[in-house]
């Protein structure tokens, strides 16, 4: 299978796409929105040939989520870079045959259908492994493949609610993170598990089934710090406040500021720079004392900062070795000197969406090409390329191309009509 894969994809791999340590591995992505595509993005960034399979008409719903330009959504364009895209209609027997042929060439399958759907479709692990026993078959779900919540529709906030992170933000009035954190954490978890499974396959020659739930990923992620008061069971436990209770954001005369005052030396330097003797107060002499009197400490520190310039204090604290950072607004992140120095963000020209800014992967492997090597694809952009590699008949390729042309005309007409309705309002 691997030899056939290299032969079939020689054209693709020599075509200038992003290389990396996963070059030579094929990942078929039957996913939508965030968790599955995020896992695929990680593997594509590391050089895998990720083929995203989408349904006709709209495709992945993330294509129409959030800010967009000329029909290309910003979030979709970030988490689907470096991938190829084909459109298959699973209700069409010939399209379904193409899917099965594609899966026979895959090293990895990532799917995030609701539990039970892949079995109804006839593409569950037990079925696929009969013709591709080496496949790493990854099923991403919200609550898992069994249990009382198995049939729940799942969104990230629901996982935040169940896993306890919402209560951890504010026990009296629970709050959500303002990011779909567990969708992305699950994607990272899946990508790491898949890579490890590929290493294991090299040693054992065996594929495997990897069920990964958002709930399990969330608990795995938050537990060490969020649950440190719930980890040790029984008597004799010395309890301290939650970690982030000691990390507030302070308001200065000019900006918001984060400064960490846990260590005695840091607190003393901070007070001296603020022309205060607060560090000599008996309530605040030691770390333990400051933790025990945290509420009054934070109030007193805030009083010190009300009339102080944030940039000046940040510079002086930085020179003194005290942990500190200015709170950047979303419009300031790309102007931060550290972000600029690290070249953490890149500005690229997407062929549809135009100029855009996004982060580079936080890793760069030996001999890896520049980033990105391909932009997020338009719907069905690589149909002919992938189908020809699979040996699909020309007549079938033309049939699919004609269908996508008709569907695009339909979507364009609907978009134009909607724009007209909005203008009349």
Which of these, 202, 227, 235, 207, lies nearest to 104 by C-alpha position? Answer: 207
What tokens does 117 get?
């759907």
Same domain for 52 and 122, yes or no, is yes
Same domain for 49 and 188, yes or no, is yes
Residue 240 lies in a domain: no
Cis peptide before 372 (omega within 30 of 0): yes
- 309: Cβ–Cβ under 8 A, 6 or more apart, which residues? 252, 253, 254
How confident is the model at residue 418, as a pLDDT?
Answer: 65
Q: For residues 9 and 74, is the Cβ–Cβ distance under 8 A? A: no
What tokens does 201 get?
């396959």
Q: For residues 313 and 257, is the Cβ–Cβ distance under 8 A? A: yes
Cβ atoms < 10 Å from Cβ of 157: 15
Same domain for 89 and 143, yes or no, is yes
pLDDT beneath 70: ranges in the chain: 1-18, 417-425
Same domain for 195 and 321, yes or no, is no
Residue 95 lies in a domain: yes
CA angle 59, 106, 150 (to 5 degrees): 60
Residue 341 lies in a domain: no
Residue 301 lies in a domain: yes
Residue 241 lies in a domain: no
Residue 321 lies in a domain: yes
Give how many domains the chain has, as a whole number: 2
CATH number of the domain residue 322 falls in: 3.30.1540.10
CA count, 13 A, side-chain hemisphere, 259: 31
Q: What is the pLDDT of residues 22-49, one digit of tens each?
A: 999 999 999 999 999 999 999 999 999 9
Same domain for 38 and 113, yes or no, is yes
Strand 208-213 to 136-141 pairing: parallel
Q: What is the pLDDT of residues 132-151, one digit of tens each?
A: 999 999 999 999 999 999 99
Classify 398 as helix, strand or coil: helix
Boundary (domain end) residue, out of 275, 293, 326: 326
Q: For residues 223 and 185, is the Cβ–Cβ distance under 8 A? A: no
Same domain for 277 and 202, yes or no, is no
The range of the structural domain enclosing residue 28 comes to 2-223+346-424
Same domain for 6 and 75, yes or no, is yes
Same domain for 10 and 154, yes or no, is yes
How confident is the model at residue 254, as a pLDDT?
Answer: 96
Boundary (domain end) residue, out of 295, 326, 357: 326
Same domain for 196 and 53, yes or no, is yes
Residue 336 lies in a domain: no
Boundary (domain end) residue, out of 296, 326, 356: 326
Residue 133 lies in a domain: yes
Give DSSP secondary structure letters for 169-216. Answer: H-SSS----SS-HHHHHHHHHHHHHHHHHHHHHHHH---EEEEEEHHH
Classify 108 as helix, strand or coil: strand
Q: Per DSSP, what are the bridge partners of residue 72?
A: 69
Same domain for 314 and 358, yes or no, is no
Same domain for 152 and 56, yes or no, is yes
DSSP-derived secondary structure letter, 63: G
Neighbour-count burial of 204, counting CB atoms closer than 10 A to its CB (0-12 exposed, 13-18 middle, 19+ buried): exposed
DSSP-derived secondary structure letter, 72: E
Same domain for 261 and 173, yes or no, is no
- 365: Cβ–Cβ under 8 A, 6 or more apart, which residues? 20, 21, 46, 47
CATH number of the domain residue 369 falls in: 3.40.50.10540
What tokens does 44 get?
């594509």
Rounded alpha-carbon distances, angstroms, from residue 149 to 39, 111, 187, 192, 219: 23, 19, 20, 25, 16
């Amino acid at each position: 299978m691997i030899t056939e894969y290299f032969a079939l994809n020689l054209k693709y791999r020599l075509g200038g796409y992003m290389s990396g340590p996963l070059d030579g591995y094929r990942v078929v992505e039957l996913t939508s929105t965030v968790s599955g595509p995020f896992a695929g993005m990680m593997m594509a960034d590391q050089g895998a040939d990720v083929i995203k399979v989408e349904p006709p008409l709209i495709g992945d719903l993330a294509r129409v989520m959030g800010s967009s330009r000329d029909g290309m959504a910003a979030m979709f364009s970030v988490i689907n870079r470096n991938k190829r895209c084909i459109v298959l209609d699973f209700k069409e027997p010939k399209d379904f045959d193409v899917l099965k042929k594609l899966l026979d060439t895959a090293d990895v399958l990532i799917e995030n259908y609701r539990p039970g759907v892949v079995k109804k479709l006839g593409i569950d692990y037990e079925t696929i492994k009969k013709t591709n026993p080496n496949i790493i078959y990854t099923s991403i779900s919200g609550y898992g493949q069994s249990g009382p919540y198995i049939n729940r529709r799942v969104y990230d906030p629901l996982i935040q609610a169940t896993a306890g992170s919402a209560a951890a933000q504010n026990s009296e009035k629970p709050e959500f993170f303002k990011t779909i954190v567990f969708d992305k954490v699950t994607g990272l978890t899946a990508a790491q598990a898949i890579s490890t499974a590929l290493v294991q396959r090299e040693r054992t020659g065996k594929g495997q089934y990897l069920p990964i739930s958002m709930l399990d990923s969330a608990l795995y992620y938050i537990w060490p710090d969020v649950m440190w008061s719930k980890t040790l069971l029984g008597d004799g436990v010395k309890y301290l406040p939650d970690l982030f209770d000691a990390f507030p954001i302070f308001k200065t005369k000019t900006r918001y500021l984060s400064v960490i005052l846990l260590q005695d030396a840091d607190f003393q330097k901070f007070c001296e720079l603020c022309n205060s003797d607060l560090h000599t107060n008996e309530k605040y002499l030691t770390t333990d004392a400051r933790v025990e009197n945290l509420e009054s400490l934070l109030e007193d520190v805030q009083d010190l900062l009300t009339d102080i310039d944030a940039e000046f204090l940040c510079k002086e604290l930085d020179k003194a070795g005290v942990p500190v950072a200015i709170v950047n607004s979303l419009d300031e992140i790309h102007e931060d000197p550290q972000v600029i120095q690290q070249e953490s963000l890149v500005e690229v020209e997407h062929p549809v969406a135009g100029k855009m800014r996004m982060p580079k992967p936080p890793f760069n492997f030996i001999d890896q090409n520049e980033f990105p090597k391909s932009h997020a694809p338009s719907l069905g952009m690589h149909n002919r390329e992938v189908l020809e590699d699979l040996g699909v008949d020309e007549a079938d390729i033309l049939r699919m191309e004609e269908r996508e042309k008709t569907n695009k005309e339909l979507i364009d007409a609907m978009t134009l009509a909607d724009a007209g309705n909005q203008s009349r309002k």
